[in-house]
Amino acid sequence: MIAQQIINAISLGGVYALLALGLAIVFSIIGLINFAHGELMTATGYALLGSLLMGVPFPLAVIVAICCGGLAAMAMERVAFRPMRGASVTSLLLTSFAVSSLLKVLFQNGVSARPQTILMPDWMTSAVTIGDITLRVGPAISIAISLLALLGLELFLRRTVMGTAMRAASEDFAVVRLMGIPANRVIATAFFISGIFAALAALLWIANRASVDPLMGFTPVLKAFIAAVIGGLGSLPGAVVGGFLLGVTEVLLQAVLPPELAPYRDAIVLSAVILVLLIRPQGLIPARRVQRS
């Protein structure tokens, strides 16, 4: 039972890490906390649902959904955030809230207000028994995908020109532009990656929840924001650490708190966040350049 709880904890932590990383990549480049990040998850969910309903085989539907997440993020940047380029952090933040609200209403009135059921293939929700321990396949897949995605991002940032440009941009965007790297391409790539990460998180989220609904993006983006803040806003390793820490804390508290204290779980988690920030105001692993103006 303890082994299972630990796997549950790491699995949720992985999903939070993916989400926080998506937020952090965009923040590190343009200083925007994209609160419409959750709606990228919703869009991915509907893309998966639509593909499955049209009879697309499951693996292909997953690929379509992931691409949709990335493209939706790029479209979001092009339509809503590019015209706001150079605006203050507050204006960008408010724009992202507006995009989020608009998309929620569009999903609700355009698709359905009611959650739509998406059932993952049986093997994804099955369990294997090793000795005394029954391990669920879902959390294991979730951990594997999170780790692969993190590894992929690390390779991209270290080994490619665009990756290097993005790392440089997160430290000093002005200098990167002086070097002749087109700003639009760096920013679009950042959004594309953040969309892909949102899409991966969405698939794991949906596999766990069996449905997609217009408002499903709200909780994940909030968790991702908390994780990114604990880790240090704009710091990619920080986002990963923050995500895992938040997920693990949530699950373990849920597992050990007596029922009468369980409703206070979120309050306890958020108190711990305040404590972390009191001790390390810039987060656990602060970004090299803390705040863009």
- In terms of CB distance, is 220 or 234 closer to other proteins? 220
- Classify residue 219 as left (phi > 0), alpha (psi -120 to 50) or beta: alpha
Residues of this chain that bind other proteins (CB under 8 A) = 1, 4-5, 8, 11-12, 15, 104-105, 108-109, 112-117, 119, 125-127, 134, 136, 138-139, 205, 208-211, 213, 215-216, 218-220, 223, 250-252, 254-255, 259, 262-263, 265-266
Beta bridge partners of 133: 130
**What token pair was written down for 170?**
């997160």
- In terms of CB distance, is 30 or 224 closer to other proteins? 224
Give me the least distance between CB of 169 and other proteins, in Å please.
32
- In terms of CB distance, is 74 or 252 closer to other proteins? 252
**What token pair was written down for 289?**
């350049």
Taking CA atoms, 122 is separated from 66, 142, 157, in Å, by 21, 15, 36
Instruction: Output Rg (C-alpha) for the chain, integer angstroms.
Output: 19
Give me the least distance between CB of 212 and other proteins, in Å please.
8
Residues in the chain: 293
Using an 8 Å Cβ cutoff, are 12 and 227 in contact? no
DSSP annotation of 41 reads: H
**What token pair was written down for 103?**
């998309």
Give me the least distance between CB of 192 and other proteins, in Å please.
24
Give me the least distance between CB of 260 and other proteins, in Å please.
9
Q: Could you tell me which of 38, 81, 42, 72 has the C-alpha nearest to residue 187?
A: 81
Give me the least distance between CB of 164 and other proteins, in Å please.
34
CA distance 12 to 244: 8
200 burial via Cβ count (<10 Å: 0-12, 13-18, 19+):
buried
- In terms of CB distance, is 4 or 164 closer to other proteins? 4
Give me the least distance between CB of 85 and other proteins, in Å please.
31
- In terms of CB distance, is 175 or 222 closer to other proteins? 222
Give me the least distance between CB of 30 and other proteins, in Å please.
28
- In terms of CB distance, is 133 or 151 closer to other proteins? 133
- In terms of CB distance, is 108 or 282 closer to other proteins? 108
